[in-house]
């Protein structure tokens, strides 16, 4: 019997890994996300510290909160941090459940316990924990279970079963909501009100951006319980006191609701339009809680049904490698729980709403790493992720303007407003490929879904404004060619370079697809074309210019040598003796070199040219791929979690299945196996893992270019079979792949 490939388990409590498990065990339903912290308070783990978090590289930062950080997030609820800008607010902790026996509080650090086990069931999104608590010679069995309803987006259900094995005990259950929670050391709440009312404890907060959040909890206990309510500072408490007989088990259920003034059905719209939203959201919360309490027996079933629907279309079954199977399901689980599929006003932040790192900001991860999974399994969700960019076009235009450029410059770090959130100028000013990546993703969406309507009516606006930006950003050279100078490519360890290959290639592609789409519209819907021309103020000169820049953009590609330079000036950077500098390879390279020296050295943070080889895999011949890989991989530090998985895919392209699997395994470690989830889930890597299986090992062809699905598998040793489903051009394909055969059925 192999391992259970649906469950992530923690078999012993370890203070040093607790934060990692908080990240791994994050639960959610797209609307709401909660880290896997314990229900009860933990010794020496303050949650309201005040400090100045600077926007440093999260890889190199000294960790605050070494042991535990709660995280209750409604992505879209952002506050205004003076340095970090709009950041996703860590909301009051609603899961609170302390347990007392004879006035001793249960505490994971202080209390004796054995038979500990905690596990997250990926299939149902339910998190359970059990242990025996040894207190004053008594033995108490504790069983926790909780889930965030996938069926009712505002509802959280917790269950606690307490059994006294050997004696009668006096039990106090303390349910609480704690309002005094800071986000990255900052208090975003200008109003905090805790109260209790008719057996319900409530916490209302108002953020510094005037978002309002209401939380309510109701404790359901058997009769005979003595109930008390308390307010201590910003914590509202509901105590239930009961005697348990020897051998008796009592069951406590806590049902909670979270709503914000921005909710309609789900968090629906931009702050600015949503003052209209729902003035009675507090009343609504009360009604919804009441309904959930009434329906208490149905809640789990309907929740599991919803998860089942998702797994039915999303699961990737790997036969012959349980370790990979579990990690792939783990990745898909987080992809499923972090997308607010019906909402086109929020996207998915870099940590998948599973931590405070990166401040809830949105990066190119969405377009390049995350999109394919949704595109092939839930195109409506994929569309909304891209519609988020459409909905923030105005902010991107303002951003371009603030730099003196035309069109739309999308922010390196976005938030719900679509304004630039990045506090480090070198990224926000120079890492501009994001604005071409978006066009790539929109074209990708169109190619896989065939949804011309969205392309013609919405995406083209974004594409045109982005192309307009690029022609104003490119500089003409004396020989009539064009250059893009002063940029940072995906490799963030070179800050200031000229004609970065990745960026320029993406820009060329963006211009090409924009012109192509316009031509399609013109051919297929002349009236629409006229409207677009008017609305976008399309001019012949501009189209001409887009065409010229597309054709004459300099590309540091040496066709004779079959080699792509990362940038035109790459050779001018300094060679490093890696063995001398990187003395401990178990730690990131960046810890052993100053940013200053790094910025002038040939040491890559992550795939740059290699990314190009992956995204445009049909454009480069095998020799070029090999030359680039041979040159760049040894000087790539993979300090970014975005790096391994691309290497895995490109090694698959090269049919080097050993190296492809090697890098795949390293990717699986990033969150799951190497304890990297303390500050949140590397959600882009999750999306990448899906791609590495589907594109890499199973060899799905590039449908950006091809018409029909084809697969050319090169499964790692030991993998017998991979089964999954894909939705392509409105048709579901059931695919089974082994090294010997590909079975493609469609419905």
Q: Site residues for a copy of itself, window 144-183 (CB under 8 A)? A: none
**SS3 (DSSP) at 433:** coil
CB of 209 to a copy of itself, least distance (A): 16
Beta-sheet strands, E only, within 547-613: 557-558, 563-564
Identify whether the C-beta of residue 664 lies closer than 8 Å to the C-beta of residue 692.
yes
Identify whether the C-beta of residue 88 lies closer than 8 Å to the C-beta of residue 192.
no
Choice between 365 and 429, CB closer to a copy of itself: 429
CA distance from start to end of the chain: 34
Q: Candidates 3-11, 366-374, 556-564, 568-576: pick the segment binding a copy of itself (CB under 8 A).
A: 568-576
- Tabulate helix, strand, coil % of the chain (nearest 5): 35, 25, 40
Choice between 43 and 595, CB closer to a copy of itself: 595
Choice between 130 and 485, CB closer to a copy of itself: 485
Choice between 269 and 499, CB closer to a copy of itself: 499
Choice between 233 and 597, CB closer to a copy of itself: 597
In the numeric block, the tokens 């003395």 are attached to 583
Identify whether the C-beta of residue 248 lies closer than 8 Å to the C-beta of residue 163.
yes
Identify whether the C-beta of residue 383 lies closer than 8 Å to the C-beta of residue 458.
no
Running DSSP on this structure, what letter comes out for residue 69? -
Choice between 2 and 572, CB closer to a copy of itself: 572
Choice between 484 and 689, CB closer to a copy of itself: 484
404 torsion bin: left (phi>0), alpha (psi -120 to 50), beta (else): left
CB of 57 to a copy of itself, least distance (A): 11
Per-residue HEC secondary structure of 641-706 comes to CCCHHHHHHHHHHCCCHHHHHHHHHHHHHHHHHCCCCCCCCCHHHHHHHHHHHHHHHCCECCCCCC
Q: Candidates 330-338, 589-597, 622-630, 648-656: pick the segment binding a copy of itself (CB under 8 A).
A: 589-597
Decide if residue 625 touches a copy of itself (CB under 8 A). no
Beta-sheet strands, E only, within 46-108: 72-73, 78-81, 85-88, 93-101, 104-105
Q: Candidates 155-163, 567-575, 637-645, 717-725: pick the segment binding a copy of itself (CB under 8 A).
A: 567-575
**Pattern of binders to a copy of itself over 318-357, x per CB under 8 A?**
----------------------------------------
- Binding residue (CB under 8 A) for a copy of itself from 169, 194, 430, 434: 430
Pairwise CA distance, residues 625 & 563, whole Å: 8
Q: Candidates 264-272, 286-294, 396-404, 729-737: pick the segment binding a copy of itself (CB under 8 A).
A: 396-404
- Binding residue (CB under 8 A) for a copy of itself from 107, 193, 461, 569: 569
Decide if residue 403 touches a copy of itself (CB under 8 A). yes
Identify whether the C-beta of residue 554 lies closer than 8 Å to the C-beta of residue 504.
yes
Decide if residue 3 touches a copy of itself (CB under 8 A). no
Decide if residue 553 touches a copy of itself (CB under 8 A). no
Choice between 5 and 183, CB closer to a copy of itself: 183
Pairwise CA distance, residues 464 & 559, whole Å: 31
Q: Site residues for a copy of itself, window 74-103 (CB under 8 A)? A: 82-83
- Binding residue (CB under 8 A) for a copy of itself from 65, 138, 485, 512: 485
CB of 530 to a copy of itself, least distance (A): 33
Buried b (16+ CB within 10 A) or exposed e, 197-216: eeebbbbbbbbbbebbbbbb
Choice between 459 and 599, CB closer to a copy of itself: 599
Decide if residue 597 touches a copy of itself (CB under 8 A). yes
Decide if residue 396 touches a copy of itself (CB under 8 A). no
Choice between 317 and 475, CB closer to a copy of itself: 475
To the nearest 10°, report the CA torsion of 71, 76, 77, 78: 90
**SS3 (DSSP) at 218:** strand
Q: Site residues for a copy of itself, window 437-476 (CB under 8 A)? A: 475
Decide if residue 600 touches a copy of itself (CB under 8 A). yes
CB of 58 to a copy of itself, least distance (A): 16
Choice between 127 and 487, CB closer to a copy of itself: 487
**SS3 (DSSP) at 176:** strand
Please choose, from the candidates 658, 633, 659, 653, the residue with its C-alpha nearest in 3D space to the C-alpha of residue 696: 653
Decide if residue 579 touches a copy of itself (CB under 8 A). no
Identify whether the C-beta of residue 72 lies closer than 8 Å to the C-beta of residue 62.
no
Chain CA centroid to CA 285, Å: 27
**Pattern of binders to a copy of itself over 646-685, x per CB under 8 A?**
----------------------------------------
Choice between 218 and 409, CB closer to a copy of itself: 409
* Token output for 283: 């009343």
- Binding residue (CB under 8 A) for a copy of itself from 137, 404, 480, 634: 404
Pairwise CA distance, residues 479 & 318, whole Å: 54
Pairwise CA distance, residues 663 & 649, whole Å: 9
Decide if residue 595 touches a copy of itself (CB under 8 A). yes
Identify whether the C-beta of residue 286 lies closer than 8 Å to the C-beta of residue 692.
no
Choice between 137 and 480, CB closer to a copy of itself: 480
Count of residues that interact with a copy of itself, criterion CB under 8 A: 27
Sequence-distant (≥ 6) Cβ neighbours of residue 363 within 8 angstroms = 350, 412, 413, 414, 434, 684
Decide if residue 222 touches a copy of itself (CB under 8 A). no
- Binding residue (CB under 8 A) for a copy of itself from 115, 273, 402, 531: 402
**Pattern of binders to a copy of itself over 42-71, x per CB under 8 A?**
----------x-------------------
Choice between 13 and 403, CB closer to a copy of itself: 403
Q: Candidates 397-405, 439-447, 525-533, 716-724: pick the segment binding a copy of itself (CB under 8 A).
A: 397-405
In the complex, which residues of this chain contact a copy of itself (CB under 8 A)? 52, 82-83, 402-404, 425-426, 429-430, 475, 485-486, 495-496, 498, 569, 572-574, 593-597, 599-600
């Amino acid at each position: 019997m192999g391992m259970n490939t649906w469950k992530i388990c923690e078999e012993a409590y370890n203070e040093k890994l607790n934060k990692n498990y908080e990240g791994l065990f994050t639960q959610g339903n797209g609307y709401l996300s909660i880290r896997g912290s314990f229900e009860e308070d933990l010794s020496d783990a303050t949650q309201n510290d005040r400090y100045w978090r600077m926007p440093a590289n999260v890889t190199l930062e000294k960790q605050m909160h070494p042991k535990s950080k709660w995280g209750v997030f409604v992505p879209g609820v952002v506050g205004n941090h003076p340095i970090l800008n709009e950041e996703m607010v860590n909301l009051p902790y609603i899961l609170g459940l302390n347990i007392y026996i004879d006035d001793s509080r249960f505490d994971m650090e202080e209390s004796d316990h054995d038979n500990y086990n905690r596990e997250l069931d990926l299939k149902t999104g339910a998190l359970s924990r059990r242990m025996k608590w040894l207190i004053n010679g008594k033995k108490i069995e504790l069983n926790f279970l909780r889930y965030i309803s996938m069926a009712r987006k505002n509802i959280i259900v917790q269950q606690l079963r307490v059994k006294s094995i050997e004696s009668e005990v006096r039990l106090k259950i303390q349910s609480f909501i704690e309002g005094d929670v800071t986000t990255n050391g900052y208090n975003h709440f200008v109003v905090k009100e805790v109260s209790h009312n008719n057996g319900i404890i409530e916490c209302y907060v108002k953020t510094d951006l005037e978002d309002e959040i209401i939380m309510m909890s109701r404790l359901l206990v058997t009769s005979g319980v003595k109930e008390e309510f308390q307010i201590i500072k910003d914590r509202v408490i509901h105590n239930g006191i009961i005697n348990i007989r020897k051998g008796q088990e009592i069951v406590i259920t806590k049902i909670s609701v979270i709503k914000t003034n921005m909710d309609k059905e789900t968090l629906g719209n931009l702050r600015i339009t949503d003052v209209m939203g729902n003035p009675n959201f507090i009343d609504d919360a009360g009604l919804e809680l009441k309904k959930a309490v009434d329906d208490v027996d149905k809640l789990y079933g309907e929740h599991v049904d919803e998860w089942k629907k998702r797994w039915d279309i999303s699961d990737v079954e790997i036969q012959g490698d349980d370790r990979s199977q579990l990690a792939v399901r783990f990745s898909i689980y987080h992809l499923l729980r972090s997308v607010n599929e019906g909402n086109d006003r929020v996207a998915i932040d870099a940590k998948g709403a599973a931590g405070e790192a990166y401040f809830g900001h949105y990066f190119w991860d969405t377009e390049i790493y995350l999109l394919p999974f949704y595109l092939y399994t839930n195109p409506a969700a994929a569309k909304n992720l891209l519609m988020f960019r459409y909905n923030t076009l105005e902010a991107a235009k303002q951003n371009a303007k603030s730099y003196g450029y035309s069109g739309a410059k999308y922010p390196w770090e976005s938030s719900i407003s679509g304004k630039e959130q990045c506090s480090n100028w070198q990224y926000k000013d120079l890492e501009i490929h994001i604005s071409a990546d978006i066009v790539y993703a929109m074209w990708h969406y169109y190619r896989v879904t065939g949804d011309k309507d969205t392309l013609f009516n919405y995406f083209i606006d974004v594409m045109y404004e982005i192309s307009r930006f690029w022609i104003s950003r490119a500089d003409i050279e004396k020989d009539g060619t064009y250059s893009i100078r002063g940029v940072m490519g995906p490799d963030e360890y070179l800050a200031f370079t000229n004609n970065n290959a990745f960026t320029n290639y993406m820009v060329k592609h963006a211009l090409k697809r924009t012109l192509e789409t316009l031509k399609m519209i013109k051919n297929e819907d002349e009236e629409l074309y006229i409207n677009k021309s008017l609305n976008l103020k399309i001019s012949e000169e501009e189209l001409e210019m887009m065409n010229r820049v597309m054709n004459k953009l300099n590309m540091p590609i040496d066709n004779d040598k079959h080699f792509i330079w990362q940038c035109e000036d790459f050779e001018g950077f300094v060679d490093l003796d890696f063995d001398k500098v990187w003395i401990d390879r178990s730690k990131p390279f960046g810890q052993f070199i100053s940013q200053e020296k790094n910025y002038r050295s040939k040491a890559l943070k992550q795939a740059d040219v290699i990314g190009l080889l992956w995204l445009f895999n049909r454009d480069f011949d095998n020799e070029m791929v090999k030359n680039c890989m041979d040159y760049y991989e040894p000087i790539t530090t993979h300090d970014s979690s975005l790096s391994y998985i691309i290497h895995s895919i490109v090694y698959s392209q090269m049919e080097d299945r050993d190296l492809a699997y090697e890098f795949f395994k390293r990717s699986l470690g990033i969150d799951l196996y190497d304890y990297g989830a303390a500050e949140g889930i590397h959600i882009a890597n999750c999306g990448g893992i899906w791609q590495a299986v589907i594109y890499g090992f199973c060899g799905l062809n590039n449908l950006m270019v091809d018409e029909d699905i084809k697969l050319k598998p090169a499964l790692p040793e030991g993998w017998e079979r991979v089964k999954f489903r894909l939705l392509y051009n409105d048709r579901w394909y059931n695919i089974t792949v082994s090294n010997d055969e590909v079975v493609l059925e469609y419905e």
